[in-house]
Amino acid sequence: MKKPALPRQNGSAQKKSLSSLLAVVLFLVFFILALCANIIAPHDPWERFDPYLPPSVEHWLGTNDLGHDILSELIYGSRVSLLVGLGAAVLATAIGLCVGLFAGYYKGVTDEILMGITDVFLMIPRIPLIILLAAFLKPSFWIIALVIGFLWWTSTARVVRSKSLQVSEMNFVLSSKCLGFSDKHIIFTDIFPNIIQIVIPKFMLTVAAAMITEASLSFLGLGDPSMKSWGMMINFAFTKGGLINALWWWFIPPGLCIMFFVYSVVLLGYSLEEKEQAVLGIS
Amino acid sequence: MKKIARYLLALFIIISINFFIPRLMPGDPITNLMGEDYIVSQESIDALKAELGLDKPLLVQYVTYWGDVIRLDLGHSFHFHTEVSQIIASKLFWTTALVGLSILFGTLFGAILGALSGWGKNDPKNKTLTTFFLWIYCTPPFFLSLVVLYVFAFKIGIFPLRGFYETGTFTDIAKHFFLPVLVLSLSLASRNYMIMRGSIIQEKGKLYILYARAKGLLNRGILFRHAFKNASLPLITLVALDIGFIISGALFVEIVFSMNGMGTLIFDALLARDYPVLQGIFLIITIMVVVANFLADIVYGIIDPRVREQR
């Protein structure tokens, strides 16, 4: 008879390390592309050649309607994704961490108020609100990152709260209290280090969400016009006849880049997570 | 009761945010409220200011705004030359249909596949399924739509390339609906699959499963009669909270497939910077999300007796 199997089997540990290796490699590739875009890219993304060229030796992925080299656009596009993703996630994690820590540590009224705010934020339809704000603001990518960061902290706050509720009942926290340390000291030197391992995977998932959101916004034509992002490339291909004329090299590669970059970030987040059950609980 | 109060508070705050956005944003509030399509002379600007009440104090404007919201008067769109509420009402049905069908299929398939995969061994079949859904999870819905549209409608040509009109026959509409519903269901199923799989793996180790096994119940019977019910609880909350995400996904899918719905409305309104329409859509989607969460709470109570008794 089959025993109720333990969640983790032997084979999956090996598979896991393999896929996390893949994630690290993919992430590093995109990171280096973003960092050294000006060295790696064969052309300046704004330099004009003949328009609508198919892929060739000179232009690996052809050119777009304005004659810009698509491969170079692609390489520069990784910068926007990385900046918006990281910027938004840093802000969101910082807010979520503070809200969760304070709610979990002080409990009572503080908890009620902070979680009430979180619930309201959780219910805001985020994409429509960002579309509305972006339409008014005519955004730079910093504003996009800022807005995403201000809206994406809720799930981090919830996770951090429930963990810090647990941790703040533990003996070492109680003894710190008895020794008369200040609340601030206890929160940041006793509770915070015990929460960090659940915050990091959440951080990676937030990076992924922010990248997808940025791409979606740019696809609507709400991106930063001074920096070409992958979403914006797809927008141009979509509105300027790339799809209708079957110029697949124009809109497929940027989409694949978004997929691979997000995939590497999500996988990296998972492999940093310790518990298997949490590994598969995307939220 | 406390829950209801919380939902009303959320609604109140979000609708208030909607009031302040055009007034706090940089630029002329007249433009912000009327949209950039509307260029007028100085006299009519003054007349408009009086009509919109922009010369009155903020508090008065705020009260008037609430009156308008309650009467569902969302303002006038100068780009489309009609009332905003009318335009949205005409699009709402198709978006709701797309969202509703996708939630149905996406949740059903995602949950069942996730449950089976979490219940079974970690064999190649389940690994492939998990990897597949992980990739879908990482793909923005608009790109998935583009690829599906390109392959099935453009290359193979078995589905129509563009959207439909309301006069079509049932088969016609079904043909136009198939691909969008497929894309949205897949992207929703990917999320539900992950949650359900994790949830089932957690339930699998519990004692009541062992007990059911000791009673001699069949493997599948235990899964769908006992484990599934408990494991689906987090799913309900998630689907409700995901409503906003699903509707946003539907907007993008509609844009790519040029379907008649709120997504294309957003796209057109963005091109014309028609702010009243954008605000109206935000408001309507907010109401939909809050109502969905409220309904999920009720369903949760029906399914989980522990919650029911607390009330």
- Looking up residue A261, the CATH number of its domain turns out to be 1.10.3720.10
Residue A39: CB atoms within 10 Å: 8
Which chain A residue has the Cα nearest residue B209? A4
pLDDT tens across B199-217, in order? 888 888 888 888 888 888 7
Place of tokens 């302040």: B20
Test A282 with B195 for CB contact under 8 angstroms: yes
| SS3 per residue for A201-250 | HHHHHHHHHHHHHHHHHHHCCCCCCCCCCHHHHHHHHHHCCCCCCCCHHH
Residue A14 inside a domain? The answer is no
Instruction: Give B245's contacts in chain A (Cβ within 8 Å).
Output: 126-127
The answer to whether residues B241 and B293 touch, using CB atoms and an 8 Å cutoff, is yes
CA distance A136 to chain B (A): 7
Q: What is the CATH number of the domain that holds B289?
A: 1.10.3720.10
Q: How confident is the model at residue A67 (pLDDT cuts 50, 70, 90)?
A: confident
Distance CA A69, CA B287 (A): 45
How far lies A142's CA from each of B25, B55, B228, in Å? 17, 34, 44
- Token representation of residue A123: 């219910």
Instruction: Give A267's contacts in chain B (Cβ within 8 Å).
Output: 134
CA distance A221 to chain B (A): 8
The answer to whether residues B246 and B103 touch, using CB atoms and an 8 Å cutoff, is yes
- Token representation of residue A111: 């908890």
CA angle A94, A99, A104 (to 5 degrees): 125
CA distance B44 to chain A (A): 23
Residue A184: the pLDDT is: 86
The answer to whether residues A213 and A127 touch, using CB atoms and an 8 Å cutoff, is yes
State yes or no: pLDDT of A11 exceeds 50: no
Which of A19, A235, A283 should one mutate to test binding to chain B, selecting the residue with the greatest count of B CBs within 10 A? A283
**Identity (one letter) of the amino acid at B85?**
S
Residue A52 inside a domain? The answer is no
Count of structural domains within chain A: 1
Q: How confident is the model at residue A242 (pLDDT cuts 50, 70, 90)?
A: confident
Which of A129, A155, A222 should one mutate to test binding to chain B, selecting the residue with the greatest count of B CBs within 10 A? A129
Test A255 with B267 for CB contact under 8 angstroms: no
State yes or no: pLDDT of A1 exceeds 50: no
Q: How confident is the model at residue A239 (pLDDT cuts 50, 70, 90)?
A: confident
Distance CA B208, CA B190 (A): 28
Which chain B residue has the Cα nearest residue A155? B241
Residue B161: the pLDDT is: 67
Tell me the CA end-to-end span of chain A in Å, nearest whole number.
35
Please report the ipTM that was assigned to this predicted complex: 0.85
Distance CA B163, CA B178 (A): 11
Test A125 with B137 for CB contact under 8 angstroms: no
Residue of B10, B138, B140 with shortest CB distance to A216 = B140
- Token representation of residue A190: 């006793």
Residue B204: the pLDDT is: 82
Q: How confident is the model at residue A114 (pLDDT cuts 50, 70, 90)?
A: very high
Residue A283: the pLDDT is: 34
Test A243 with B245 for CB contact under 8 angstroms: no
Residue A282: the pLDDT is: 39
- Token representation of residue B199: 């949830």
Q: Which residues contact B175 (CB under 8 A, 6 or more apart)?
A: B159, B160
CA distance A254 to chain B (A): 9
Which chain B residue has the Cα nearest residue A112? B6
pLDDT tens across A82-107, in order? 999 999 999 999 999 999 999 999 88
Closest to A154 in 3D by CA, of A114, A207, A191: A114
Test A258 with B293 for CB contact under 8 angstroms: no
* Long-range Cβ contact pairs of A56-61 (< 8 A, separation 24 or more): A61/A249, A61/A250, A61/A253
Which chain B residue has the Cα nearest residue A257? B139
Residue A236 inside a domain? The answer is yes
Residue B134: CB atoms within 10 Å: 19
Residue A156 inside a domain? The answer is yes
Residue B267: the pLDDT is: 87
Distance CA A166, CA B147 (A): 46
Distance CA A26, CA B282 (A): 37
The answer to whether residues B269 and B202 touch, using CB atoms and an 8 Å cutoff, is no
| Dihedral sign (CA A99, A105, A106, A108) | positive
Burial of B294: CB neighbours in 10 Å, binned 0-12, 13-18, 19+: middle
Distance CA A97, CA B62 (A): 34
Residue A161: the pLDDT is: 92
Reported as half-sphere exposure (CB side, CA atoms, 13 A), residue B69 has a value of: 22
Distance CA B137, CA B156 (A): 25
Between A and B, how many CB-CB pairs are < 8 A?
171
Q: Residue B78 carries which DSSP code?
A: T
Which helix (H) or strand (E) element contains residue A111? helix A108-123
Q: Residue B299 carries which DSSP code?
A: H
Test B255 with A220 for CB contact under 8 angstroms: yes
Q: Which residues contact B55 (CB under 8 A, 6 or more apart)?
A: B49
Residue A46 inside a domain? The answer is no
Q: Higher-confidence residue: A5 or B192?
A: B192
Instruction: Give A135's contacts in chain B (Cβ within 8 Å).
Output: 270, 273, 275, 278
Per the structure, the complete domain to which residue B301 belongs is given by 84-310
Count of structural domains within chain B: 1
Residue B37: the pLDDT is: 60
Place of tokens 């903020």: B58
Which chain B residue has the Cα nearest residue A261? B138
Q: Which residues contact B160 (CB under 8 A, 6 or more apart)?
A: B153, B175, B176
Residue B155 inside a domain? The answer is yes
Test B266 with A131 for CB contact under 8 angstroms: yes
Per the structure, the complete domain to which residue A209 belongs is given by 21-38+67-280
The answer to whether residues B166 and B260 touch, using CB atoms and an 8 Å cutoff, is yes
Test B140 with A127 for CB contact under 8 angstroms: no
Test B270 with A220 for CB contact under 8 angstroms: yes
Closest to B249 in 3D by CA, of B196, B193, B192, B181: B181
Residue A233: CB atoms within 10 Å: 28
Residue of A4, A119, A221 with shortest CB distance to B210 = A4
Which of A124, A235, A250 should one mutate to test binding to chain B, selecting the residue with the greatest count of B CBs within 10 A? A124
Coil, strand or helix at A31: helix
Q: pLDDT of chain B along its 311 residues, tens only?
A: 677 888 888 888 888 888 888 877 776 666 766 666 665 666 677 777 776 666 777 788 888 888 888 877 777 777 777 888 888 888 888 888 899 999 999 999 998 998 888 888 778 888 889 889 989 999 999 999 989 888 888 777 777 766 655 566 777 778 888 889 999 999 999 988 988 888 888 888 888 888 888 888 777 778 887 788 777 777 887 788 788 888 889 999 998 888 888 888 888 888 877 888 888 889 888 888 888 888 888 887 787 777 666 54
Q: Residue B225 carries which DSSP code?
A: I
Residue B181 inside a domain? The answer is yes
- Token representation of residue A166: 């647990």
Burial of A239: CB neighbours in 10 Å, binned 0-12, 13-18, 19+: middle
pLDDT tens across B22-66, in order? 877 776 666 766 666 665 666 677 777 776 666 777 788 888 888
Residue of B10, B143, B150 with shortest CB distance to A120 = B10
Query: Does the model's pTM come out above 0.90?
Result: no
pLDDT tens across A136-175, in order? 887 788 888 999 999 999 989 999 998 898 888 888 888 8
| Dihedral sign (CA A224, A225, A230, A233) | positive
The answer to whether residues B86 and B42 touch, using CB atoms and an 8 Å cutoff, is no
Test B204 with A7 for CB contact under 8 angstroms: yes
